[in-house]
Structure 1
Amino acid sequence: MESAESPSKRAPAAGRGNRMRAAVLEATLAELTESGYAALTVEGVARRAGVHKTTIYRNWKDSDGLVADALAGHFATDIPIPDTGAVEDDLRALARSLVAAMTTRAGRALLTTVLSDAARLPRFAEVKHALFEDRFRRAEPVVTRAVERGELPADTDPAELLKALAAPIYFRLVFTGEPVDEATADRAARIALAAAHAGALPAT
């Protein structure tokens, strides 16, 4: 007799093309979140996505490429850049967006993956580098406008400002396990702004 399978592991058969790809990548994120990188298998992803494992192997060389594509695809989603007219409000909005992104299933999957053995693989290093470079690039207009308004020192480095903004959030996510919410984001924004005002974030 066929063994029962958890409803969360079953999925209707996915079609071809873009719909199949989306189903497989979504299933990969779900498997990463529930089981972690070390336990992820192509078979498990295929079962959850409702496709045969040979379909996955035709589109991805191995599970590492599958995981990298799942994470990169999710975090490539466009994030609006705040332009409130006040740098404090802009930084608060950026911090809240980061908290919202990193507390989703995909965000948790990203964290568990980059903290696992996968972090040593070149493909994952590329994904992580591209992700943070994209975030730094997005922060630049916020800093540029604030400098033009006289709200920040002229030599404030956008990348350094974003690092200062993100650091308290990632510290809780990775090390302490403390709650991460909008209050965390607002505190991080105040810390980053204070550092910038003190001239501690110049371009190097």
Structure 2
Amino acid sequence: MSAEITDHRKRPRRRGDALVNAILEATIEELAEHGYAALTMEGVAERAKASKASLYRRWTSRSTLVMDAVYHLLPHPSDIPDTGELRGDLLILLRQAARTLSGPAGEALRGLLGEALPYPEHAAEIRSRSQGMGRQMMAEVTRRAVARGEIPAEAAVGARLDVGQALLRNHFLFHHEPIPDGLVVEIVDTVLVPLFHTPSHEPRC
């Protein structure tokens, strides 16, 4: 039997989505194993069995690669289970967000913020890569509630869609521990459900 081939140049070439997915999954595995501070483009390339050039053609820095890898972890908004009621959907959404923050994505968030704060250009780069997935998922959940007649359409607009995830991120960043489920329930019951049942009013000039 021939020896196992380890040189990525001798393996069948992957292109397009197959290569990108392999790199993003390798990035998540590197985050889980080594953390953000120790993550390198070289380590990701080796784990993905890809060339460093293939990474740098798509991502100019470690932070942009990590951001895309984190978004790769998140479900599409249309994949969020529909429980038939706003409260149930909100609990599923925020519990999912809490689990995500407790894993490699949370490690990445702390690293990205720590790296960006002293350097405005890094912060701008991170903002430019942001896909607003949290807001999109909340928009889908509230859209369903509007369609069921649970809440008025004008209640689910603008910054209201960011409140739930923002409260979770704030707790996560200031408490080095998993987000307790009791906090998720509290945010849903005392903040989000009342908020989305209250129509928004445009500010008066």
Q: Which amino acid aligns with 1:27?
A: A
- Structure 1 position 156, deviation (Å): 0.9
Could you report, residue by residue, the CA deviation over 1:61-96 in whole angstroms, capped at 9, with x for unpaired residues? 444443343334334x41423433322212112212
Match of 1:127 in 2: 129
Aligned with 2:13 (options 12, 16, 41): 16
In 2, the alpha carbon distance for the partners of 1:123 and 1:164 equals: 23
What secondary structure is seen at the aligned counterpart in 2 of 1:116?
A: helix
Instruction: Report the aligned-residue RMSD.
Output: 3.3
Distance 1:148 1:174, change over 3 A: same
Native 8 Å contact 2:64 2:129 kept in 1: no
Match of 1:175 in 2: 174
Q: Which moved more, 1:176-185 or 1:87-96?
A: 176-185
Native 8 Å contact 1:26 1:70 kept in 2: yes
Q: Which amino acid aligns with 2:128?
A: E
Matches within 5 A, 1:1-204: 15-18=12-15, 19-57=18-56, 60-75=59-74, 77-79=75-77, 80-105=79-104, 107-118=105-116, 120=120, 121=122, 122-128=124-130, 130=131, 132=132, 134-147=133-146, 149=148, 151-153=150-152, 155-191=154-190, 192-197=192-197, 199=198, 202=200, 204=202
State the number of aligned residues. Answer: 187
What secondary structure is seen at the aligned counterpart in 1 of 2:30?
A: helix
Native 8 Å contact 1:99 1:169 kept in 2: yes
- Structure 1 position 102, deviation (Å): 2.4
Between the aligned residues of both structures, percent identity stands at: 30
In 2, the alpha carbon distance for the partners of 1:74 and 1:15 equals: 26
- Structure 1 position 176, deviation (Å): 1.9
In 2, the alpha carbon distance for the partners of 1:110 and 1:50 equals: 22
Q: Which amino acid aligns with 1:17?
A: R
For structure 2, the 5+ residue unaligned runs are: 1-5
In 2, the alpha carbon distance for the partners of 1:55 and 1:150 equals: 49
In 2, the alpha carbon distance for the partners of 1:62 and 1:102 equals: 22
TM-score by length of 1: 0.69
In 1, the alpha carbon distance for the partners of 2:126 and 2:87 equals: 33
- Structure 1 position 174, deviation (Å): 0.7
What secondary structure is seen at the aligned counterpart in 1 of 2:154?
A: coil
- Structure 1 position 150, deviation (Å): 5.0
Q: Which amino acid aligns with 2:126?
A: F
Match of 2:3 in 1: none
